[in-house]
Chains A and B, each alone.
Chain A
Amino acid sequence: MANFLKKTIFKIRLAIQIAFTALSNGYVMGFLKGKIYQGPGKKLCLPGLNCYSCPGALGSCPIGSLQAVLGSPKFQMSFYVVGFFLFTGAILGRVVCGFLCPFGLVQDLLYKIPFFAKRKNMPGHKGLVWIKYVVLALMVVILPMFAVNAYGISDPWFCKYLCPSGTLFGGIPLIATNDGLQQALGGLFIWKMSVLLVLLVWSLWVYRPFCKYLCPLGAIYGWFNPIALSRFQMDKEACIDCKKCKAACPMDIPVYAKPNSAECIKCGKCLQACPTDCIEVALWAKKKDESRDSAES
């Protein structure tokens, strides 16, 4: 099982990314009529950054849902959405990012276009990765909870000012097909389109810049990587310290030292690059390794 997974993970990953994005945004009538799906599926959260105002979306965005509940006058905490993060994170960790997120797929595809000289990271990468935790704390939690109007309602700050998924999958298809919305365009749309364009061009050059530096959902799922069912384990005795895993990793993780880094999106490139097979998915680890020490971080 482990060997099969290792050899085919790239093809499987791209196929799952495309299939999951298409299926979870499969309400075709929405795209044709410039409307959104209103069925019971919207009571459930999708795992990735999937705007609920995408005309095809069959479920809800968990980050949008969290802001909606925190920003309502009735609740100061969303047990439903936090519970969804705990449950999904415990099972998948950032497998969601590698396999199930539409905006992750967009960035993956853009990075494949041979347009700019590619680089993995921005200068100052180690510091920049912390920005996503600030975005999570400030734009998803603190401002929606406390920056309320006279009726106790607040804006969804992340959705309104930063989220590129809403502009790309919601704004553009809806505005293209809905005359009423076209009449209402203004400065905010110019701002959001500018943010989206910067991120799309940035993704041609750097691997997944939004995921690395800005995404609050990636920040949340990253916390679960060390305990998730998808976690990796290192066979330290088999490791020959060649560092080929780090060279292959698009998130630039020293896998030999931090096999379950919060930055890992579980793309599997390190599994394939390792010449001694010492990185394994713990769930599928071979029996012979069971007596050896784990390098669990």
Chain B
Amino acid sequence: MKKHKIHPVFWLVAVCGLFFMVFGVWREEIVILYQKAIYICMECIGIG
């Protein structure tokens, strides 16, 4: 049996990941993420 240095499914998953990220940026998910990340997250630090 032939061994692959790179698993064939790797390319599928990596390319899907890139497309998903671009699509997420296009539909502006990043605005929500950025708004959450630039103000202190009260839940994260245990204040509520």
Are A181 and B2 in contact, with the CB atoms below 8 A? no
Chain A residues, CB < 8 A from B43: 155-156, 159-160, 166
Question: Of the 9-residue stretches A14-22, A123-131, A226-234, which lies at the interface with chain B?
Answer: A226-234
Are A170 and B44 in contact, with the CB atoms below 8 A? yes
**CB of A68 closer than 8 Å to a CB of B:** yes
Report the Cα distance A245→B7, complex, angstroms. Answer: 23
Chain A residues, CB < 8 A from B22: 83
CB-nearest residue of chain B relative to A84?
B21
Is the interface on chain B under 10, 10 to 19, 20 to 34, or 35 or more residues? 35 or more
**A175 smallest CB distance to B (angstroms):** 7
Chain A residues, CB < 8 A from B3: 233, 282, 285, 289-290, 292-294
**B2 smallest CB distance to A (angstroms):** 7
**B35 smallest CB distance to A (angstroms):** 8
Are A43 and B34 in contact, with the CB atoms below 8 A? yes
**CB of A75 closer than 8 Å to a CB of B:** yes
CB-nearest residue of chain B relative to A51?
B44
Q: State which residues 62-120 of A face B: CB under 8 Å.
A: 64-65, 68-69, 72, 74-75, 78-91
Are A83 and B44 in contact, with the CB atoms below 8 A? no
- Residues of chain A having any CB pair with chain B under 8 Å: 36-38, 42-43, 51-53, 60, 64-65, 68-69, 72, 74-75, 78-91, 155-156, 159-160, 163, 166-167, 170-171, 174-175, 181, 184-186, 188-189, 191-193, 224, 226-229, 231, 233, 282-283, 285, 289-290, 292-294
Q: Could you list 15 further interchain pairs (A-B, Cβ under 8 angstroms) beyond the known A86-B17, A156-B43, A181-B40? A: A42-B33, A51-B45, A53-B44, A68-B32, A75-B27, A80-B21, A80-B33, A83-B17, A83-B20, A83-B23, A166-B43, A166-B46, A192-B45, A282-B6, A294-B1
